[in-house]
C-alpha cells in the first residue's frame, strides 16, 4: 500500500528548471513537491553551463535569489571571435545597449535556488527511486519509493534521460534531432583567466573556447572527435592543444594551472514537440537540447519555466487554461530560434572535415562579414544576450 500525499504541481527534477519553477510558484502561492533521483551534493556540484542571458539574470534577481549572483557573477559586455591570426570583439554595449551576459556557474544557480526553497519550507526530495508518472490526461499522479504524489499538473524537468518524456504515449511527440561529428572536451582549471571576456577561437586544428567561472577559476573547451576517450587527453596534452588554438594573436599568452575537473560531452541538437501531453508539461532539457556553442541550454530552461509559471498562475487565479494550451507553441518559438543560433555558431566555428577547403572558406567569409558589419554583428549580439520574452510572469 502506497502512502499518499497531495500538492498542486508535482515537479520531477531538481535542476535549474525544476527548482526555479518551484520557487516562482511558491511566490505565487502555488504548492509543489520536487523529486530528484540524485543526491543534493551531486546536484549542487554538477558542473554545467555558466553564461546567463540578461533575461535570466533579471528573472533570478526579481525573484529574490540574485544576491550572490550580483555579488559574484562576472558581467561581460562582449565576446571575442578569434580567427586568422587576429581577435575581433563583438561589443554588446554598442550593438545591444543595456543588455549583457553574466558568467555564473549553473551549479551556483542551483545552490541559490535550493537554499531559497529550503529556507521557505519547500519540499525537495533527493535520492528518490522508481519515479513514474500516471494518468496524464485527467488525474495525474507520481509514484516513487513506495509513495504516491497526487497533483493537478506534472512538470517534467528531469533532463534528456529522465522519465517524463518517455512516459508520453508513442506517436504523440515528434522528435527532431541532429548529432555532430565532434565533441567538447571541457576542463576547469585553478588559474586566473587569461582574458577579461570569452574567446571563441576557430583554427585549422579545431575550435577552442576560453571562459571563466571566477577571478581564480578558468573554464576551457576543445573540439575533439566524437567518441574520443578521455584517457587520451592527459593534462599536458590539453594545455598544449589549448595553447596551439588560443595563442594565435600577437601578445596573447595562455596561463596554465592545475586541472581540477575534466570531461567530454557529445554535441547534439534535439527538440521534442509538443512540449505538453495532457497535464504533463516538459521544460528544459527534457524537451530540447542545443550544442553549447551558443550558451542557450540553461537560458531556455528559464524561459520555459517563466511561461509555465504564468500559465499555472492564471489557471489557479480564474480557471483559464488558455495559456496552458498555448504553452508549447510559445516555448517552441523561442526554442527554434535558439536551435538555429546554436547550430549557426557551431557550424561557423568548428572544423567539420579537414579536406573541406570550400567549407573553410565559407566560414572565413562569414566571420569576416560578422566582424566588419554592424548589422551582422548585431544579429549575433542580440541572440547571444537573449531575445525578449514573449510572456512575462
Alpha carbon distances (Å) from 43 to 47, 108, 109, 111, 214: 9, 10, 11, 9, 20
315-343 as b/e: b if 16+ CB within 10 A: bbeeeeeebbeebbebbbebbeebbebbb
Instruction: Please state whether beta strands 147-150 and 199-203 pair in parallel, antiparallel, or not at all (unpaired).
Output: unpaired
- Compute the distance between CA of residue 40 and CA of residue 33 in angstroms, rounded to an integer: 15
- Name 258's bridge partners: 190
- Compute the distance between CA of residue 316 and CA of residue 153 in angstroms, rounded to an integer: 11
- Compute the distance between CA of residue 153 and CA of residue 389 in angstroms, rounded to an integer: 24
Active site residue 296: yes
Q: Which of 83, 104, 180, 200 is catalytic?
A: 200
Q: Which of 83, 221, 327, 384 is catalytic?
A: 384
Q: Which of 16, 193, 291, 292 is catalytic?
A: 292
> The C-alpha cell of 268 is what?
547534439
Report yes or no: 298 and 52 within 8 Å, Cβ to Cβ: yes
- Eight-state DSSP code of residue 8: S
Report yes or no: 285 and 301 within 8 Å, Cβ to Cβ: yes
Give the three-class secondary structure for 170.
coil
Closest CA to 167 of 280, 47, 312: 280
Active site residue 384: yes
Q: Mark residue 67 as left, alpha or beta (left: phi above 0; alpha: psi -120 to 50; beta: remaining).
A: alpha
- Compute the distance between CA of residue 149 and CA of residue 187 in angstroms, rounded to an integer: 39
- In the block, cell 508535482 appears at 10
Q: Which of 23, 277, 288, 296 is catalytic?
A: 296
Active site residue 88: no
Active site residue 180: no
> The C-alpha cell of 208 is what?
577552442
Active-site amino acid positions:
76, 200, 292, 296, 384
Amino acid at each position: 500500500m502506497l502512502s499518499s500525499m497531495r500538492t498542486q504541481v508535482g515537479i520531477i527534477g531538481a535542476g535549474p528548471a525544476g527548482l526555479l519553477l518551484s520557487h516562482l510558484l511558491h511566490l505565487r502561492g502555488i504548492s509543489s513537491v520536487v523529486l530528484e533521483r540524485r543526491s543534493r551534493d551531486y546536484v549542487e556540484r554538477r558542473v554545467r553551463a555558466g553564461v546567463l542571458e540578461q533575461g535570466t539574470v533579471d528573472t533570478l534577481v526579481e525573484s529574490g535569489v540574485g544576491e550572490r549572483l550580483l555579488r559574484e557573477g562576472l558581467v561581460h559586455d562582449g565576446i571575442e571571435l578569434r580567427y586568422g591570426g587576429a581577435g575581433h570583439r563583438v561589443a554588446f554595449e554598442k550593438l545591444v545597449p543595456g543588455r549583457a551576459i553574466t558568467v555564473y556557474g549553473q551549479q551556483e544557480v542551483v545552490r541559490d535556488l535550493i537554499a531559497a526553497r529550503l529556507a521557505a519550507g519547500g519540499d525537495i526530495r533527493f535520492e528518490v527511486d522508481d519515479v513514474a508518472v500516471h494518468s496524464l490526461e485527467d488525474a495525474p499522479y507520481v509514484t516513487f519509493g513506495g509513495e504516491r504524489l497526487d497533483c493537478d499538473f506534472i512538470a517534467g524537468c528531469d533532463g534528456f534521460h529522465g522519465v517524463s518524456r518517455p512516459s508520453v504515449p508513442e506517436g504523440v511527440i515528434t522528435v527532431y534531432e541532429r548529432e555532430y561529428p565532434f565533441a567538447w572536451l571541457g576542463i576547469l582549471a585553478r588559474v586566473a583567466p587569461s582574458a577579461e571576456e570569452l574567446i571563441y577561437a576557430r583554427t585549422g586544428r579545431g575550435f577552442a573556447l576560453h571562459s571563466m567561472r571566477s577571478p581564480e577559476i578558468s573554464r576551457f573547451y576543445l573540439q575533439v572527435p566524437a567518441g574520443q576517450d578521455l584517457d587520451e587527453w592527459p593534462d599536458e596534452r590539453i594545455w598544449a592543444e589549448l595553447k596551439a588554438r588560443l595563442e594565435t594573436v600577437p601578445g596573447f599568452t595562455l596561463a596554465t594551472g592545475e586541472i581540477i575537473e575534466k570531461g567530454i560531452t557529445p554535441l547534439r541538437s534535439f527538440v521534442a514537440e509538443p512540449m505538453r501531453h495532457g497535464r504533463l508539461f516538459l521544460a528544459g532539457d527534457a524537451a530540447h537540447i542545443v550544442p553549447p556553442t551558443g550558451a542557450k541550454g540553461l537560458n531556455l530552461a528559464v524561459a520555459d519555466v517563466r511561461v509555465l509559471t504564468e500559465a499555472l498562475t492564471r489557471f489557479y487565479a480564474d480557471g483559464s487554461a488558455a495559456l496552458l494550451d498555448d504553452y508549447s507553441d510559445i516555448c517552441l518559438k523561442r526554442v527554434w530560434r535558439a536551435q538555429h543560433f546554436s547550430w549557426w555558431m557551431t557550424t561557423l566555428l568548428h572544423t567539420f572535415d579537414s579536406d573541406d577547403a570550400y567549407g573553410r572558406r565559407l566560414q572565413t567569409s562569414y566571420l569576416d562579414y560578422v566582424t566588419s558589419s554592424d548589422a551582422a554583428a548585431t544579429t549575433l549580439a542580440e541572440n547571444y544576450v537573449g531575445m525578449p520574452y514573449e510572456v512575462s510572469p
